[in-house]
Amino acid sequence: MSILEQSKTVFKNLLSSISNTLDDASTEETISYGALLWKVSSECKSLLDSQVKPRMRALAREQTQPGTNIKLGGQCKVVLPKKRLVLRKNANIDSVAEALGPAVFAELFTATVTYRVNQDAVNSKLDILTPEAKAILINALEDKEDTPRVSFVEDSSWTK
């Protein structure tokens, strides 16, 4: 039996035992089991976040383009978000607005609580900007790739 199969069996047995014990557990025992389950889930999440998910993200990036979803091994799905232009955190939006002028600025940015870049408009307007305005705009923007989302589906062998 593989380590994976042994692990599934141990986890299933452990969870079943805890579940059966909780029905008649005292308050103190219930709290102790809750703390144990919280610790185990926290350790599992840490292992997923530090080792499993980064490997799945890297594998998905090698196999597909941003803006797509990919299933890996039938149990894992990775959503690769599209790249997008965002304002740099240290960008001085007032100097960008001043350099572009109100009409171009309104076309390139959507004003909300924060500024969202209108990527298509930026690409089409770069040629008509003065060199100074273009430099200020380019200095204020950066390409950003969002973190791919990793999720897992239940393996049918887990429920057997």
Interval 128-152: pLDDT, tens? 999 999 999 989 999 888 888 776 6
Is the model's pLDDT at 22 over the cut of 80?
Answer: yes
pLDDT at 54 over 90: yes
Choosing from 38, 63, 88, the residue where a domain stops is 63
The predicted model scores a pTM of 0.59
Token pair belonging to 99: 């350099």
Question: Which tokens belong to 41?
Answer: 């889930």
Question: Which burial class, exposed, middle or buried, applies to 38 when counting CB atoms under 10 A from its CB (0-12, 13-18, 19+)?
Answer: exposed
pLDDT at 12: 93
The residue-averaged pLDDT of 62-73 equals 85
- What does the pLDDT read at residue 65? 84
28 in the same domain as 92: no
If asked whether residues 98 and 131 sit together in one domain, one would say yes
Q: Do both 43 and 80 map to the same domain?
A: no
User: Which of 17, 41, 63 is the C-terminal boundary of a domain?
Assistant: 63
Q: What is the pLDDT of residues 80-115, one digit of tens each?
A: 888 889 888 889 999 999 999 999 999 999 877 678
At 70, which helix (H) or strand (E)?
strand 68-72
> How many structural domains comprise the chain?
2
Evaluate if residue 56 carries a pLDDT over 70.
yes
Assess whether 152 and 93 both reside in one domain.
yes
Report the pLDDT value the prediction gives residue 120, as an integer from 0 to 100.
Answer: 87
58 is in which domain, residue-wise?
Answer: 1-63
Residues 132 and 83 grouped into a single domain: yes
Rounded CA-CA distance 45/24 in Å is: 29
- Could you tell me the two tokens for 138? 């380019």
Summary mean pLDDT of the chain: 87
- Tokens encoding 102: 């109100």
pLDDT confidence band for 32 (50 / 70 / 90):
confident
- Give the integer Cα–Cα distance in Å for 138 and 160: 57
